[in-house]
Structure 1
Amino acid sequence: MAGMSESETFGWRRIAVPAFGPTLLSAAATGAVVPIAALRADELGASIGTAAFVVALTGVGQLVGVLPAGALVARIGERATLVRAGLLDIVALAVAGWAPSLWLMGVALLLSGLASSAFFLARQGYMIDVLPQRLLARGMSLLGGSMRAGLLLGPVLGSVAIAPFGLQGAYGVAVLLAVGSVVTVLTAPDLTGDHERARAGEPHTGVLRVVRQHARLLLTQGIGVTVISALRQSRLVILPLWAVHIGLDGVDSSQIFAVAGVAELLLVYPGGWVMDRLGRVWVVAVLLSVVSTSFLALPLAGTKGELLAVALVMALGNGLGSGIVMTLGADAAPDRDRAQFLGAWRLMGELGHAGGTLGLSAVTALVSLPVAAVVLGATGLVGLGWTSLWVSRADRERGKA
């Protein structure tokens, strides 16, 4: 892993805007439209099932876009990828908000997902270059925290614009935020130019070949990443479903999500500090044990207060692990063909996102929502043992280096 050397001057203030500003704004753009995308599809005549499919196309774009995104970053560099992905997202958000037909909105959401994959992959590579090794986890945790903060901020800004302008108001806010992200990339100091110029002269290996070269790592630590990502995504789906299951309304559900979202930000930096000082495995173990146990406790939550308590525990455990997936990927990434490897690493996470949601839906449809919660909790506890084993080995190897 090639990052800033200890002899180079480093300061959080120096990298704050170029590192975290575009991520905050891009995530806020996404957050502004996520809550109302299904309503926009309904405006265009979609049934509930069709609306769910159209909204899911953003996730499909993120999944299918990760490996091509790795190849793109390897070819043109992180900064150029950030600009191109940002411009694509601006166009996609505008089309999704003002599309006259459902199919055109679906295409736009798919393109937005592709842009998101490229943007956040390039952002991870950028952070590897600007952070010294001793602060790597803290930087990745703050990057994850800026994404979470943006996803919290976006719906607030979008809701303000909906009252006077309708659903298009939220899309207009999203476009402005996405424009701000690109402008920040273009105007912020170029801190990684030397790294990118050095890599430009290296021969590039095909993405699939890089995947084969690192297959063992992807099938060991990578499976752990898949489990973590599956639990995280399932949490976002099951909590509102459980609110409906126990008879809460939309206001109650939104309040629970808002409080849990704020609580999640509290442990972002402490989690990174623990990873840097004590090892990645400690955060992995706490994250998986706390979130898994919360899933197992969810069937006992029969009131708003009890559901809030479960959601808060989940949020604190998940917040402590902010940036863990990116940190593990940065630790494992080779100096050569780094972007292609990070694309494969992110693919493992995206498979977890898709698999968690599909698994939750399948078990709920075949049995019940409480059983789905228990299955998720049990899966997380099994994943705890597997992931801790491989991450602890990686910690020891890194300590010897």
Structure 2
Amino acid sequence: MSGETGLKPLVTTVFVPAAIFGIGQGAAAPVMALTARELGASVAVSGLIVAVVGLGAVLGDLPAGRIVARFGERRSIIGGSAVGAVGVLVCLLAQTPWMLGVGALLTGLANAVWGLARQSYLADAVPIGLRARAMSSFAAMWRLGFFVGPLLGAAVILVVGARGGFLVQFVGVVLSGWLMSRVPDPPRRRAAASRHATLPSILRRHRKLLATLGAGSLLMGAARASREAVLPLWAAYLGLDAAQVSLVFGAGAAVDLLCSYPAGQFMDRYGRRFIAVPSLLVIGVSYLALPFSHDLLSIGVVAVVMGIGNGLGNGVIMTLGADIAPPATRAEFLAAWRLTHDTGMFAGPFGVGALAAVVPLGAAVAAVGGAALLGATILFRFIPIYSPWPPAATASPDSPPLEKQEA
């Protein structure tokens, strides 16, 4: 592959399905907490239900590496999409908060398999010189969907009510799953199918990396995921309705999208730290500013700043994972790597909900901002160790940086 021309074969196999999947995710994100509130859940419980999506992803990461390594991307996508569709239907039809939580858990499980399969495919198919652009393009298309999703969701909500967002998500999960199910597994996956490593063995072998760089990944996941709980809950605190919340999400998603591909270009040119650290700094500042918003306009401004930070960070964790993954056990290692990020994606909204039960919501939001700033510090320290830039000239294509660092 050379230049953007080398990414064209990925348009129909990866990028378009990612956009469709993102549309569904974006349409459902603003209404999860609001539906919980509609069903009688408290603010704290509503935040916890949003966090259950992240819990599902964490639980899904545990077997996802073995599933993808054994069955390949195609069959993993088919199974994951089926589970995801069932989960969305449960959310759509839920009559109690606990039923909504079950649906959220199932969608999180499906997200883990879906994300790992696509990341593994890109890591195999794209050379390191285009890797960040490929990962950021993948994230950008997902963000394009996440931008369109709330806007489409707002229109459907006006017609059928707040759960219209789940209806859009159901269509997105089914359609994206069908598109990706037509793609054959890469030849390398079939050749390596007999070589498996267990998740515990991966965690033991790379425990130093996962405890350091992985901690930064965890905090980035927490900071990025918390906005799906924080923005709707703060908007509800200000008295905004479901359609207005969707518009706030849409505004943030617009700048998120615009920042994605340029961030990949900068990472390919200047290295991963050049983008990862500013991303978390901007996100942290936006969380610290949110408690000072008091109406639709001010919360919209904060959402835009938050979107800039998220957009800069699109593809960072996937790119780092591809950089450091051992080729022989790529899927299994990426499962462990994604476990760090997805644990943060669960812990962030969970922490917001738990803190909101004992302290004012504004204080809980500020705590997430502090976590984002800590994550920026960790990534600044450890990215050069495990993903140095420029890559070492003597590095073998089959010997990623982590193996040299942890030998």
TM-score (norm 2): 0.84
Tell me, yes or no, if the aligned pair for 1:93 and 1:174 is still in contact at 8 Å. Answer: yes
Q: What residue is the counterpart of 2:16 in the other structure?
A: 21
Per-residue deviation, 1:257: 2.4
- How much is the aligned-residue C-alpha RMSD, in angstroms? 3.0
Comparing 64-73 with 355-364, greater Cα deviation is found at 355-364
CA deviation map 1:43-83 (0-9, x unaligned):
8xx43247766565433221211111111111111222112
Tell me, yes or no, if the aligned pair for 2:83 and 2:106 is still in contact at 8 Å. Answer: yes
Within 5 Å, give how 1:102-121 maps onto structure 2. Answer: 106-121=101-116
Q: Judging changes above 3 Å, is the alpha-carbon distance between structure 1 residues 205 and 284 closer, same or farther for their aligned structure 2 residues?
A: same
Within 5 Å, give how 1:256-267 maps onto structure 2. Answer: 256-267=248-259
The code of the aligned residue for 1:139 comes to A
Per-residue deviation, 1:328: 0.9
Per-residue deviation, 1:112: 2.4
The code of the aligned residue for 1:196 comes to R
Per-residue deviation, 1:164: 5.6
Match of 2:371 among 369, 374, 379: 379
Per-residue deviation, 1:145: 1.6
Q: What residue is the counterpart of 2:277 in the other structure?
A: 285
CA deviation map 1:232-285 (0-9, x unaligned):
122333333444455655555443322121111111111000100000001012
Q: What residue is the counterpart of 1:3 in the other structure?
A: none
CA deviation map 1:193-226 (0-9, x unaligned):
21112112x3211111111111111111100001
Tell me, yes or no, if the aligned pair for 2:154 and 2:243 is still in contact at 8 Å. Answer: no
Q: What residue is the counterpart of 1:205 in the other structure?
A: 197
Per-residue deviation, 1:333: 0.8
Matched pairs, number? 391
The code of the aligned residue for 1:91 comes to V
The code of the aligned residue for 1:292 comes to G
Q: Secondary structure at the match of 1:28?
A: helix
Say whether 1:232 aligns with 2:224. yes
The code of the aligned residue for 1:195 comes to R
**Cα distance in 2 for residues equivalent to 1:291 and 1:148:** 16
The code of the aligned residue for 2:189 comes to E
Q: Secondary structure at the match of 1:336?
A: helix
Q: Judging changes above 3 Å, is the alpha-carbon distance between structure 1 residues 363 and 140 closer, same or farther for their aligned structure 2 residues?
A: same
Percent identical residues: 36
Match of 2:290 among 287, 294, 298: 298
**Cα distance in 2 for residues equivalent to 1:369 and 1:161:** 29
CA deviation map 1:177-208 (0-9, x unaligned):
323212212335x3x521112112x3211111
**Cα distance in 2 for residues equivalent to 1:310 and 1:169:** 26
Q: Judging changes above 3 Å, is the alpha-carbon distance between structure 1 residues 293 and 31 closer, same or farther for their aligned structure 2 residues?
A: closer
Match of 2:322 among 310, 326, 330: 330
The code of the aligned residue for 1:378 comes to G
Q: Secondary structure at the match of 2:197?
A: coil
Comparing 334-343 with 381-390, greater Cα deviation is found at 381-390
**Cα distance in 2 for residues equivalent to 1:107 and 1:176:** 19
Structure 1 gap segments, 5+ residues each:
1-5
Per-residue deviation, 1:25: 1.9
Comparing 114-123 with 374-383, greater Cα deviation is found at 374-383
Comparing 387-396 with 334-343, greater Cα deviation is found at 387-396
Say whether 1:367 aligns with 2:359. yes
Q: What residue is the counterpart of 1:85 in the other structure?
A: 80
Within 5 Å, give how 1:1-400 maps onto structure 2. Answer: 11-37=6-32, 46-49=39-42, 56-98=51-93, 106-161=101-156, 171-188=166-183, 190=184, 192-200=185-193, 202-245=194-237, 252-396=244-388, 399-400=391-392
CA deviation map 1:99-123 (0-9, x unaligned):
6887666544432221111111111
The code of the aligned residue for 2:304 comes to L
The code of the aligned residue for 2:327 comes to D
Structure 2 gap segments, 5+ residues each:
396-407
Tell me, yes or no, if the aligned pair for 1:40 and 1:97 is still in contact at 8 Å. Answer: no
Per-residue deviation, 1:335: 0.7
